Structure 1
Amino acid sequence: MSFRESLGPIFSKLPAVTGPEGHVHFKSKLWWTLAILLLYFALRNVPLFGLSPESIDLFEAYRAFFAGAHGSLLLLGIGPIVTASIVLQLLVGADVIKLDLSDPADQAFFQGAQKFLVFVMIVLETLPQIWGGFLLPDPGLAQALGVSLGVITWMIFIQVCIGGVLILFMDEIVSKWGIGSGVGLFIVAEVSQQIITGLINWRPDQVGLPIGVIPKWIHILQNTHLLEFSLDGIMFIMITGGILALITTVGIFLLVVYAESSRIEIPLAHSAARGARGRFPVKLIYASVLPMIFVRALQANIQIIGMLLDSRGITFLGEFVGSTPVSGLMYYLSPIHSPYDWVPSLVAESFAGMGVAAPATWQIGLHVLIDATILIVGGAIFAIFWVETTGMGAKQTSQKIFNSGMQIPGFRRNIGSIEKVMGRYIPKVTVIGGAFVGLLTLIASLLGTIGEAGGMGLLLAVSILYRLYEDIASEQMMEMHPMLRSFFGGEK
């Protein structure tokens, strides 16, 4: 028996959300999506019982797109799902696991393997945080209950794992019964909350100014001595005052909407119904921005390894202050989040606040160059993996078009002819789009955004919202014209 044949029965017995037997009406999908969204907000506000306030958030810099909340039941967020996808896509892409994802049997095996890996990653992402001393039990609670700290630690471990499993099944419910994907929905919810908080939060920051842009400017206008028109004053107004972040947020929103609407349209005609024509759009961001999660998640996992080693006194990869790398390889591989990570004077200010020496200017420049390379090259590579593993490649797309009864005018009606035309556009657009998304992420990260969403989080949220709008429009169209569901692979 082969390795795959031995694992197949195990994967098929994993717990799963039962899919609908027939077509789910648009209103039902909308209600399921809204219900899961409300459940997500409720669960992220359920605190972990027994967790000490002194615990450290390993994912602090990645919360916007990991869609979790420190100290809550959803501490892991979508991290295990994303990490499992990275591992499996790399294994399939490198032909370590040989799968033909156009084959339904191989698709089922891939989905089963992915779910199994998610369960594994839930445990693997929880245990190091406990062993590394990042998730600490509350001694006061242990004393009050008359139990050891080990018992409280196990309770924390179980709660975090339950939260990870809940996120997995919530994502599955949205995918099967709702609109879009749960992963995308949770990211939009998290980023939207952070942007709103970044606009109206009146609590003071480290320099005594309100965190939110609106109350911050009310405070600045009430204290006109802060409006100093010198070089330092202008930098204060643009960066600390949030003007640059506001401009970047609006600019990225418009750029992503423009990029999402940019496409090459390949003409199609129905082979049986004379005069029935259509177009297949190949968007500039063909692979969507979701592959960029894999890039940042890969960086996050590398940083976690460095933090765990540093917590044990092993510092050859670099040293950390809290969850921030301040030296070594980990510093260069850490993502850029705002001007405080690359403007020399602001970097010096940040490092002084942590009580460590700031890096030299050339080190800051190298840090930016490495992050730019990771984003642009990584974006292109993971976009290719994403397209091939989600059935969006030239071969799979050609098969869907052929099965729907459509053909490309001027070409013979066979899969080979359709694939030849699709092969001219899809691979090239995938690479260009992936690199373009990486560049947009870099620009947004360098300039900063409103709230703690970060360039990556904002980019994801805008793109996911745009595609969610398209999914809703598509669902409504298929509700009015049931025959269209056969083209998109839905139930009749």
Structure 2
Amino acid sequence: MADILGFLAKIGERLPGVERPKRRPSLGMRLVYTGIALVLYLFMASVPLYGIKHAPRLFGELPQIVQIVFAMAGGTLAQLGIGPIVTAGLIMQILVGSKLLKLDLSKSEERRKFTLAQKTLALIIAGVEAGGYVIAGPQFWDLTGPNPVFDVDASAWIRFLVWLQLVAATYLIMLLDESLQMGWGIGSGISLFILAGVARDVFNRMFSPLPVSSTNPQPFGFIPYLVWSLRDGSVSIENIMIRSSQTMYLPSLMGLIALFIVMITLIYLQRMKVYIPVTTQRLRGIRTRVPLQFLYVTNLPVLLVSILYSDLYIFYTLSSYNPTIAQMFGWAIYYMRPISGFYELFSNPGRVFIHIIIYTLLALAFGLMWIEVAGLNPSGQAERLIQSGLEIPGLRRNPKVLEMILGKYIYPLTILSTLIVVAIVIVADIFMTYGTGTGILLAVGIVEQFYTLIVYERALEAYPILKRILGEA
């Protein structure tokens, strides 16, 4: 495994990359660079792939949650979105956390090796996914015969050109993310692109004037629909709240109200803390408290479940020409698919019940796994407390004792916070929240991260001495 990691890191070393700026740009310039990265991504998500015929159909077929989690835009240069980057990062984190890869990420050299290997793996995954889309011809072209691989209305040259566009576009997205993380911008490109996808979905559901379909002239967006129905004289409380049972998937007042309720609830919960009383060795008798976030694993369990579903959906799409494989993935996708509004509670209660059970169990498993992988488990927190010179009053400075005490807080907190987040996401999906429950959960967390980063950077610019104290100089 170490040899494979070294091989991937060597390839990553030779790939074109972004250098860290010799002098830290001002906050204003970093915000400008971040804006440029966002504009480039949105441009890529609007430019159709050259050589394909089914771009509009592909965009409609992609589930909303897949488009949001992977920042995908079907039929465009952002067809793969951040999927390969996220999948590669998840694989690498699990390998390191499970000790299959023996890396100490606190050391800069090993952290660099990890990053380079992850970069190469993401590019390999992008190549494989792009190859799958090109080989499974019906995704992009019309069939000319029974064989979906060979009987396709596209030459080998066109298929190669589409593959090249997908890989190159994914690599450009990787470079945009890398440029922000290297210090040219603010935060992470991955987070920025996810946030852009959620914002775009919410904006479209509120303001899109485009008709629902060729047979349904009413505007898709809720605000234009409200104006249209007032002019048409068909306005009613029922239509405004749910847009009638035949068009339950359309944006409504219920989804808009749910959006604000979910956002306020998440903002409140993310500011809640659980405090553990501690003392310090250096100042005997002085007591303080170490805060643990109430949503201890934040949005990670739900994000990982969504990534799993999105990956399964992509594999299902790419294997559609093989009925046996497609059926295997189809069962998993059917039950993992998010709930399509409260109408489905009555029309298909069995699937909804099984979905909730599977979703909850997977989220709990991912939540408990993540605290072990990320070092947020009791042993990791106990080690950090001891290194900081802190101790729990009345207990010996023994890591095992601290671990046992912290375990009484951390494991119940992980389970409780995961269940709360899962409940919020499921309820949000039932009420057809704009941007989906998972999307709003991710967006609220990302906005808070960016806000914290900007406040931190402004403090460093206002008080330069802080750079020396914090080692940023």
Q: TM-score range by the shorter chain?
A: 0.7 to 0.9
Q: 1:443 to 1:426 in 2, by over 3 A?
A: same
Aligned residues with identical type, % of pairs: 26
Amino acid at match of 1:217: L
Give 1:322's aligned residue: none
AA matched with 2:321: S
Counterpart CA distance in 2 for 1:420 and 1:21 is: 46
Task: Write the distance in 2 (CA, Å) between the matches of 1:478 and 1:414.
Answer: 35
Change (3 A) 1:189 1:5: closer
Residue aligning to 1:377: 361
Q: Shift in Å at residue 63 of structure 1?
A: 0.7
Q: CA deviation at 1:428?
A: 3.9
Q: Give the 3 Å change call, closer, same or farther, for CA 273–43 of structure 1 in structure 2.
A: farther
1:186 deviates by 0.7
1:167-186 maps to which residues of 2 (within 5 A)?
A: 167-177=173-183, 178-186=185-193
Residue aligning to 2:236? 227
SS at match of 1:448: coil
> Quick check: 1:258 aligned with 2:268?
yes
1:448 to 407, 432, 448: 432
1:65-144 matches, cutoff 5 A:
65-102=69-106, 106-136=110-140
Is 1:473 equivalent to 2:455 in the alignment? Answer: yes
* Conserved? CA contact 2:176–2:189, under 8 Å: yes
Distance 2:110 2:395 in 1: 29
Matched residue SS, 1:282: strand
| AA in 2 matched with 1:253 | M
The alpha-carbon deviation at position 262 of structure 1 amounts to 0.9
1:196-222, CA deviations, whole angstroms, 9 ceiling, x for partnerless residues?
A: 111111122144321111111122233
Give ranges in structure 1 of 5+ residues lacking alignment. Answer: 140-146, 320-324, 345-363
The normalised TM-score by structure 1 is 0.78
One-letter amino acid of the counterpart of residue 448, structure 1: M
Looking at structure 2, the residues matched to 482 and 397 of structure 1 have their Cα atoms a distance apart, in angstroms, of 31
Separation in structure 2 between the aligned mates of residue 419 and residue 23 of structure 1, nearest angstrom: 40
Which structure 2 residues correspond to residues 343-492 of structure 1 after superposition, within 5 A? 343-344=346-347, 364-390=348-374, 392-393=376-377, 407-408=390-391, 410=393, 416=399, 423-450=407-434, 453-480=435-462, 491-492=472-473
Q: Structure 1 391/59 Cα, relative in aligned 2: closer, same or farther at 3 Å?
A: farther
Instruction: Report the aligned-residue RMSD.
Output: 3.9
Deviations 1:444-491 (A, max 9, x none): 1122123xx22211221122112222222233334445676688x753
Paired with 1:41 and 1:233, the residues of 2 have a C-alpha distance of: 31
Equivalents in 2 of 1:481, 1:418: separation in Å? 37
Query: How far, CA to CA, are the matches of 2:458 and 2:402 in structure 1?
Result: 28
**In structure 1, C-alpha distance between the alignment counterparts of 2:333 and 2:126, rounded to whole Å:** 24
Q: Distance in 1 between matches of 2:290 and 2:11?
A: 35
1:215 has 2:216 as partner: no
Equivalent-residue separation in structure 1 for 2:80 and 2:313 (angstroms): 15
Q: Any idea what SS the aligned residue of 1:56 has? A: helix
Residue aligned with 1:208, SS: coil
Instruction: Give the equivalent residue in structure 1 for 2:203.
Output: 196
> How many residues are matched?
454
Residues 44-99 of structure 1 deviation map (CA, whole Å, 9 limit, x = unaligned): 22222222136634644311221122222121111111222333344445544444
Distance in structure 1 (CA, Å) of the matches to 2:8 and 2:157: 36
CA distance in 2, matches of 1:410, 1:481: 36
Aligned AA (2:274): I
Task: Give the Cα–Cα distance (whole angstroms) in 1 for the partners of residues 394 and 12 of structure 2.
Answer: 41
Q: C-alpha separation between the residues in 2 aligned to 1:315 and 1:424?
A: 44
Which residue type is aligned with residue 126 of structure 2? Answer: I
Residues 485 and 281 from structure 1, CA distance in 2 versus in 1: closer, same or farther, beyond 3 angstroms? farther
Compared with structure 1, are the counterparts of its residues 176 and 411 closer, same or farther at alpha carbon in structure 2 (3 Å cutoff)?
farther
Structure 2 length normalisation: TM-score? 0.80
Indicate whether 1:317 and 2:351 are aligned. Answer: no
How far residue 385 of structure 1 moved from its aligned partner, in angstroms, is 4.2
Is the 1:37–1:186 Cα contact (8 Å) retained in structure 2? yes
Q: Determine helix, strand or coil for the equivalent of 2:319.
A: helix
User: Which one-letter code corresponds to 1:303 in the other structure?
Assistant: Y
Q: Can you give the 5+ residue segments of structure 2 that lack an aligned partner in the other structure?
A: 144-152
Counterpart of 2:54 in structure 1 is: 53
After TM superposition, the structure 1 stretch with the greater mean CA deviation from structure 2, 379-388 or 310-319, is: 310-319
Indicate the SS of the match to 2:73.
coil
- The one-letter code matched in structure 1 to 2:390 is Q
Q: Which moved more, 1:2-11 or 1:330-339?
A: 2-11
Which AA in structure 1 matches 2:210? R
Change (3 A) 1:413 1:367: same
- The letter of the residue matching 2:472 is E
Does structure 1 retain, via aligned residues, the 8 Å contact 2:279–2:390? yes
Q: Displacement of 1:424 after TM fit?
A: 4.8
